[in-house]
Amino acid sequence: MKNQNKNIYRALLILSFIGMNLLIVFAIGQIITYLNTGADKSKMLNLSLKSESSYKPHLIWSDTLNPSRPLEKPTQKRVAQDYLNAWYVREVALATNEFKGIEDYYSQSARDKFEELLNHNIQAQTQIEGTSLNHNLKLEFYSADGQFISFKDQNVHESQRIFSAGNMVLQQTIEASYRVIMLLEDGFWRIRQLVRIPQQNAVKTSDQVVLKEIPEQIKGINYYPQHHPWDTFGDTFEASVIKEDFKKIRALHFNTIRVFVGYEDFGKAEVKQEKLDKLKKLMDLAAAENLKVIVTLFDFYGNYSVIDWSNTFKHARTVVTALKKHPALLAWDLKNEPNLDFDSRDKGLVLFWLKNHLAHLKDLDPNTALTIGWSNAASASLITDEVDLVSFHSYEDFESFKRSFKELRAQTSKPLMLQEFGLPTYSGIWNPMGADEQDQTAYYTQFLDFTNANELHYALWTLYDFEQIPTEVVGRLPWRKAKQKHFGLIDKNGTAKQALKNIQELQD
Amino acid sequence: MRVQKVYILILTLVLLLGFTSIPKLQTEESAAVLLTRQDIYTAGNSVTLSFKTEAQSAKLIVSNALGTSIFEAEKTTASGKLQFLITEPYCKSSGVLNYTLIEEGQTLLSGKIQLKADTAKISKLESYLGPQRIAAGGEDFAQFTILPTDQYDNPLPDGTEILLNTGYANSNSQEVLKVNEFISWKNVHATTRSGRIFVAANRDTTTSKLQTIYVDANLATDFNIDFDRPNSLADADQLTTLKTSSIKDRFNNVVPDATLVNFVIVTNTGAILQTSGNTINGIAEAQIQHPAEPQSWTVTAYITGIAKSKPITISYDKAVENIPANWDASNRRLNVGPLNGMLNQTLPEGTVVTLKISNTNTKIETHTKKTEAGHVVFDLKKAFYPSGIYSLEISVLGVSRTLNSVNLK
């Protein structure tokens, strides 16, 4: 017994000795690692600090002629970038009431003036969330030694949300012109003078803009490929699959499809060319099948804050300019179900965002119809003047749909579109009393009879049942996902549901 | 008559239609009316905007180029009237000032006023000059840019007159410049003589900083060179000084100090040597050591890419007349010396002496040694040089002497 105890003590002693040693070695290792972190030779010259700018209003040099010295391309770029940075730091300062970055982009006297203004706002507890959306620079003078530049910035659109003691008092978009003098000081072009000058009235072209014709009745379907829904333009993009799908859709006597452009998926402000190419390809395929396309922009976008607008404008500009001449294009749908963001993002802000973006789209492409895919008819009445087609979604029963449709019809004379509707054929553990295929057939019969009788444009949700639903679409809850998987006219095995056989007749 | 009836009918129709189309009336009664008539103010004066409105809690949002602020109404004097005093910094910044009258998020009225710079009090004539150094002759110029501002740092309106004073040597000239798009500017061209041009602008009692333009000589033209040396001996000891004439541009201006001149020397053996100097008052000097053997040099000086000199020739004579040498056959030792120069002086310590050893088998070897007190000793060891007949050639400073048929035992 005694001997055994002794052995245990011995073992313990030896083990703790080894353990202590291990700990000491580990500790020394940690210290050495710590001492070796920090300064990295490759970062000595700050070369790796080049960050991507997050402020991207549309800037063009409309004129670089001046009586003094020709403006070199690199200087042109530098001045433009520093000028935008100057705007950015000022917008941030006005929004946060802090002075960060101002001294990098404003010379001493300009800084003094701005600081006085900001102090005034700090005292009055005023905050301005704002952004400029476009800059149209016209060079006036660039000095012989390349240290002094003066230019006009014409018809700048600025959107602002003004807060007093935390409460929003006004949101507005104004247009103004500026004369700017900048000096090259220790490598930065800094603003010396920034003065708002009287606007030269832009010459408005008096040509009547003709809107592209909308089909007499849009008989549409919301389209996602069966195997990668919500990721139409991803790596799995397969033209042959889409072509087959479009043939099917055409055979069912649909004349329109609705597709979705994800804001982040397409690369945010810097739209990826490959994504655009895929979208173009899809539209080419649609055109070949004589289908029109409603393109829904800004899918899964949810920021809306004013300082981000220069990015969303840039995104819209790239997509719209690339596709506005496409023969298959029927309408731009600015945003899918923006009213769902009212609670989390402030209704006023979302509406302000929508109105400004509608105006921007109209400006970029006056010939194509605009719409917003509201998730219910009640929200659709919020913006009717600025759109050409009032769209809403309905997953309610027929009676409540009829009621909300009548209410909306009474409020606007614009064409209406039931842009998403459908019934999932799901009954299972999460919904034992769910609809079956017969119910779906009845549902479509009822709805399509109504839309045809009332000349209401429509688009079904959707062609296929899906196997995977991304979490961003309906959240994590399995009963929601299960429902979302079964809206199709064709089930996941490719078998036609009952409703499919009737669709063609119902549409004619 | 029929025709007339038709005309009358058409005319009546047109008139009828003309009067039936209702002009677009303002359907909504504007909720506020601006009472202030003035829409142009001078910066620094007080700006007051009065509105006729029922909205008593209305606020005024004001924005200019630098920012946006909210103003509260002053105490109302009468009911239905609101008065706003636009304070600093808005009332002292020139440019367009936009205002929006709001109540509870609703815009009642918006408009703009304009503030002009206070031309009565010009307080600063900011001036920029560049480049500061220009070349004489009249083609090159410096640009003088003036940004005049009032006491609140507002740029002055177009057409404001500024007096530009230019001074060179004893002559002064004046010119009136007009402000255009905030600035006025003038290209000051170089004079044909180098020197300084002074420029300054003023208006009334306000003056700008005095700016100096340095007019330097234009590009140098070709020049001459000369040399100076203590003696003409190739003694590898003395220094020859090379010197340019005064280098000038085509307007007879002396080139700026420290202009680099390269002297390139080509020897009669084809070697190239180089030395350089910087100009002081247009003259550059450079020095070079005498050669170690009699040579003839051709020297040309260059200001690279701009100008060059005419070449000159310099010759160096031999510095040693004869080489006393004594062969000690018993010790196999060659004593060279005493080596004396042209003035019979001992050659400097360390003068290189070369010994070339050759025999009938054409074996050739060279030894070099440096003099000590004019003497050098060469020991030809038996281990290296077997017995036989050798020829020994001794060279000092380009002068040589040969001992033929020396018998090494």
Cβ contact, residue pair A144, B187, below 8 Å:
yes
**Nearest alpha-carbon partner for A178 in A77, A75, A87:** A87
Centroid of chain to Cα A111: 34
**Confidence class for position A469, pLDDT limits 50, 70, 90:** confident
Do B189 and B171 fall into the same domain? yes
A103/A85 Cα distance (integer angstroms):
12
Q: Which residue of A has its CA nearest to B157?
A: A197
Comparing alpha-carbon positions, the chain B residue that sits nearest to A139 is B181
- Nearest-5° Cα angle at B5, B1 to B7: 115
- Whole-angstrom distance, CA of residue B212 vs CA of residue B130: 10
Min Cα–Cα distance to chain B from A332, Å: 30
Same domain, A284 and A383: yes
Could you tell me if A160 and A255 lie in one domain?
Answer: no
To probe the interface with B, which of A107, A131, A137, A143 has the most B CB atoms within 10 Å? A143
Please tell me if residue B88 touches chain A, with a CB cutoff of 8 Å: yes
What value does the mean pLDDT take over residues B41-67? 88
Residue A186 lies in a domain: yes
- Quote the number of domains for chain A: 2
Q: Flag whether B137 is in a domain.
A: yes
For residue B361, is pLDDT > 80?
no
A9 part of a folded domain = no
Interface contact A355, partner B, CB < 8 A: no
Which pTM was predicted? 0.78
Asked if the bond preceding A198 is cis, omega within 30° of 0, the reply is no
Specify if A303 maps to a domain: yes
Instruction: Indicate whether B149 and B73 sit together in one domain.
Output: no
Domain range for B56 is: 32-116
pLDDT at A491 over 70: yes
Residues A109 and A141 in one domain: yes
DSSP state of A396: S
Nearest to A157 by CA among A137, A177, A133, A129: A133
The label of the residue with tokens 């030792």 reads B333
Task: Look at residue B2 in the predicted model and tell me its pLDDT.
Answer: 54
Q: In whole angstroms, what is the distance from residue A256 CA to residue A290 CA?
A: 9
Please report the DSSP string for B71-133 in residue order. Answer: EEPPPPSSTTEEEEEE-TTGGGS-EEEEEEEEETTEEEEEEEEEEE--TT-EEEEEEEEE-SE
Domain final residue pick, A197, A230, A259: A197
| End residue of a domain, out of B116, B145, B166 | B116
Are B329 and B382 part of one and the same domain?
yes
Q: Taking 60 as the threshold, does the pLDDT of residue B162 lie above it?
A: yes
Higher model confidence: residue A258 or residue B386? A258
How far apart CA B344 and CA B405 sit, in angstroms, is: 30
Residue B195 lies in a domain: yes
**Is B363 or B28 the better-scoring residue by pLDDT?**
B363
State residue B378 phi and psi, 5-degree precision. -110, 125
Closest-CA residue of A relative to B148 is: A193
Confidence of residue B155 (pLDDT cuts 50, 70, 90): very high
Section A437-448 average pLDDT: 90
In a shared domain, residues A264 and A115: no
Say what the pLDDT of residue B16 is: 54
- Give yes or no: residues A341 and A388 share one domain: yes
Cβ proximity of B85 and B59 under 8 Å: no
Which domain CATH number covers B310? 2.60.40.10
Is residue A32 a part of any domain in this protein?
Answer: no
CA B126 to chain centre: 23
Least confident of A165-169, A197-201, B335-339: A197-201
Domain containing A266 equals 219-507
**Quick one: average pLDDT of A495-504?**
85
User: If we measure between CA atoms, which residue out of B238, B239, B257 comes closest to residue B247?
Assistant: B257
Per-residue pLDDT at A40 exceeds 80:
no
Domain final residue, candidates A129, A162, A197: A197
Q: Which of A139, A162, A197 is the last residue of a domain?
A: A197
**Domain tally, chain B:** 4
* Interface test with chain A among B59, B70, B97, by most A beta carbons within 10 Å: B70
- Give the model confidence (pLDDT) of B77-107 as tens digits: 667 788 899 988 899 999 999 999 998 878 8
B201 and B131 in a common domain: yes
Q: How many CB pairs under 8 A join A and B?
A: 126
- Partners of B185 on chain A (C-beta within 8 Å) are 68, 141, 143
Asked if B181 and A195 come within 8 Å (Cβ–Cβ), the reply is no
To which residue do tokens 């038709």 refer? B6
Counting beta carbons within 10 angstroms of the beta carbon of residue A158, is it exposed (0 to 12), middle (13 to 18) or buried (19 or more)?
buried
CA distance readout (Å), B240 to A429, B35, B236, B352: 110, 93, 11, 21
Q: Which of B184, B282, B288 has its CA nearest to residue B224?
A: B282
Per-residue model confidence (pLDDT) at position B23: 44
Q: For testing the chain B interface, which of A171, A193, A349 should be mutated: the one with the most B CBs within 10 Å? A: A193
Mean pLDDT in residue range A60-66: 88
Asked if residue A1 belongs to a domain, the reply is no
B22 found inside a domain: no
Q: Cβ of B66 and A114 within 8 Å?
A: yes
d(CA B247, CA B270): 29
Q: What is the pLDDT of residue B384?
A: 84
Nearest to B319 by CA among B398, B204, B225: B398
Question: Does A132 share its domain with A278?
Answer: no
> Could you write out the DSSP letters of every residue in A481-502?
HHHHTT--SB-TTSPBPHHHHH
Out of B70, B107, B182, the one facing A193 most closely (by C-beta) is B182
Token pair 């003066």 in the structure block, residue: A150
Is the domain of B172 the same as that of B195?
yes
Greater confidence (B341 vs A208) lies with B341
**A229 with A307, same domain?**
yes
Same domain for A341 and A244: yes
Shortest distance, CA A305 to any CA of chain B (angstroms): 18
* Distance (Å, whole) CA B131 – CA B134: 7
* Residue A290: CATH number of its domain: 3.20.20.80
Interface of A with B in 369-408 (CB under 8 A): none
Q: What is the mean pLDDT of residues B36-52?
A: 88
Categorize the per-residue pLDDT at B22 as very low, low, confident or very high, splitting at 50, 70 and 90: very low
Long-range contacts for A303-306 (Cβ within 8 Å, ≥24 apart)?
Answer: A304/A341, A304/A345, A304/A349, A304/A350, A304/A353, A305/A129, A305/A349, A306/A129, A306/A130, A306/A131, A306/A159, A306/A160, A306/A161, A306/A349
Instruction: From A399, A381, A281, select the one nearest A339 (Cα to Cα).
Output: A381
Whether residue A21 lies inside any domain: the answer is no
Decide if B66 and A141 are in contact by the 8 Å CB cutoff.
no
Are residue B93 and residue B134 in the same domain, yes or no? Answer: no
Please answer yes or no on whether B102 and A195 come within 8 Å at the CB atom.
no
Question: Quick one: pLDDT at residue B18?
Answer: 52
Average the pLDDT over each of A134-138, B214-218, B227-231, B325-329 and give the range with the smallest value: B325-329
How far apart (Å, rounded) are the C-alpha atoms in residues A409 and A402? Answer: 10
- pLDDT of B117 > 60? The answer is yes
Measured CA to CA, the distance from residue B293 to residue B235 in angstroms comes to: 7
pLDDT over threshold 50, residue B126: yes
Our CA-based measurement puts residue A197 at a distance from the nearest CA of chain B, in whole angstroms, of: 5
**What does each C-alpha distance from A187 to A183, A184, A236 come to in angstroms?**
10, 6, 47
CATH number of the domain bearing residue B398 = 2.60.40
Nearest to B340 by CA among B323, B325, B355: B323
Backbone angles phi, psi at A206, to 5 degrees: -85, 0
Question: Which of A94, A109, A178 is closest, CB to CB, to B68?
Answer: A94
Tell me whether B155 touches chain A (CB under 8 Å): yes
ipTM of the complex: 0.76
Q: How many angstroms separate the CA of residue B397 from the nearest CA in chain A?
A: 56
Query: Which residue in the set B61, B93, B153 is minimally distant from A170, CB to CB?
Result: B61
Q: Indicate whether B306 and B349 sit together in one domain.
A: no
What would the mean pLDDT of A81-108 be, rounded to a whole number? 92
B141 touches chain A (CB under 8 A): yes
Residue B28: pLDDT over 60: no
* Domain shared by A395 and A291, yes or no: yes
pLDDT tens per residue, range B177-206: 999 999 999 999 999 999 999 999 998 888
Q: What is the pLDDT of residues A358-394, one digit of tens each?
A: 999 998 999 999 999 999 999 999 999 999 999 999 9
Say whether residue B67 is in contact with chain A using an 8 A CB cutoff. Answer: yes
Give the domain-ending residue among B80, B101, B116: B116
Mean pLDDT value across residues B152-179: 90
Q: How many residues does chain B have?
A: 409
Whether residue B69 and residue A195 make contact (CB cut-off 8 A), yes or no, is no
Please indicate, yes or no, if residue B11 is contained in any of the structural domains. Answer: no
Q: What is the pLDDT at residue B24?
A: 44
Contact A192 B147 (CB under 8 A): yes
Residues B285, B266: one domain?
A: yes
Residue B24 covered by a domain: no
Is the pLDDT reported for residue A242 higher than 50?
yes
A288 within some domain: yes
Decide if B241 contacts B289 (C-beta within 8 A). no
With CA atoms as reference, the chain B residue closest to A69 would be B143
Same domain, A192 and A337: no
- Given CB atoms, is A118 within the 8 Å cutoff of chain B? yes
Clarify whether residues B131 and B211 are in a common domain.
yes
CA distance B409 to B392: 15
Torsion of CA A67, A69, A70, A75, to 10 degrees: -130
| Chain B residues in contact with A194 (beta carbon < 8 A) | 65-66
Using the 3D structure, point to which of B216, B248, B264 is the last residue of a domain. Answer: B216
Q: With contact defined as beta carbons under 8 Å apart, do B87 and B97 qualify?
A: no
Note which residues in 152-191 of chain A have CB less than 8 A from chain B: 160, 162, 164, 168-170, 172, 174, 176, 178-179, 181, 183
Q: Tell me the residues of chain B between 2 and 21 that have a Cβ less than 8 Å away from chain A.
A: none
Q: Which residues make Cβ contacts (< 8 Å) with residue B229, sequence separation at least 6? A: B238, B239, B240, B241, B290, B314
**Residue (of A64, A145, A107, A153) closest to B185 by Cα position:** A145
Model confidence pLDDT, tens digit, residues A118-132: 999 999 999 999 999
Q: Which residue of A has its CA nearest to B72?
A: A124
pLDDT band at residue B25 under the 50/70/90 scheme: very low
| 93-112 in chain B: CB under 8 A from chain A | 93-98, 100, 102, 105, 107
Contacting residues of A for B156, CB less than 8 Å apart? none
- Residue B78 has a pLDDT of 66
Do A235 and A121 lie in a common domain? no
Is residue A52 a part of any domain in this protein? no
Judged by a CB distance cut-off of 8 A, whether residue B184 touches chain A is no
pLDDT digits (tens, 9 = 90+) for B271-305: 999 999 999 999 999 999 999 899 999 999 999 99
Cβ neighbours of B107 in A, within 8 Å: 170, 172
Could you tell me if residue B5 is inside a domain?
no
Please state, rounded to an integer, the average pLDDT across all residues of chain A: 89
- Do both A392 and A487 map to the same domain? yes
Instruction: Among B64, B94, B183, select the one facing A150 at the smallest CB separation.
Output: B183
- Which residue of B66, B108, B114 is the best one to mutate when testing the A interface, meaning the one whose CB has the most A CBs within 10 A? B66
Q: How many CA atoms lie within 13 A of A66 on its CB side?
A: 27
